[in-house]
Structure 1
């Protein structure tokens, strides 16, 4: 059962005292007469169970002072449905009733909703800018210098510019490049060597 809505505005933080912007009773098709907003399927008529009329009237009055934006006032519509429906229909008809009210608001205020959504899209499309104060910039610079000092200490005084692992890898790579490469003889190379050896032996026979 929903809690009773206080009728003293001073006890509610952030209560608006502005003039009504629209008429929820007309737009939402409400009849604040102290009877349930729901429908009794078994009797095929509106429910006649009693509800707290003053609580419902107070909620309707507060909703009238807000912009008729169904997305923003949806929590208020849910609260109104909880108080406007009796305990029998609160859980079965509450969501459908809120959706019906939302559709009524969209149909009654299409221009206002388009403007509101346009402002939201413009605000979301603007790039976010970050501005630092001089004190924040100084703190960031000090943190960067501290990180640089820690890195230098870990590398050591002799290797302040190049990490030790890089030196080892570079030395191994240099040795592999400078070492003489041994290329296995190919079949054509072996045949050439055999031909030259045979020619040399023939020349020696001629001389003898």
Structure 2
């Protein structure tokens, strides 16, 4: 299958089911806390960074370490964006009279609008990632006294790779959940 064996995929799927079974009863409470509590941003950042530090016990460089940091960073950014959206009043539940929601008829205008939203959203996220990557790696290299001329070598240092992935993908996750929807609203594409 390439990178992972069939047994690893099955095991990962079963672990996911186990985690969902454990957290499903309290997901509403976690969601409510993330959106409403004053200390939620701090808890989000500390919990995601702590999960990453627990997971990164490897002595040598591994792509899985960066991938895990990337996933945790994206999740932290999306959770922070949900908090900001709620605090700004941007997460409005539909009125009960509009439930159940129905799909609009598929028209040429709807398809074109969807493609435009997709193109703008992807472009914004790619530019965000590119800018953050260009700023973060040299900053971290300077901060830790490492040469920044070889980006690949610098990124294999745990003290550069983990903060780099967290910072870049937290901003990307935040942009995806908060900034891009606001941009769609401004462009009347919401």
Instruction: Give the structure with higher Rg (CA).
Output: 1
Same fold (TM over 0.5): no
TM-score w.r.t. structure 1 length?
0.21
TM-score w.r.t. structure 2 length?
0.23
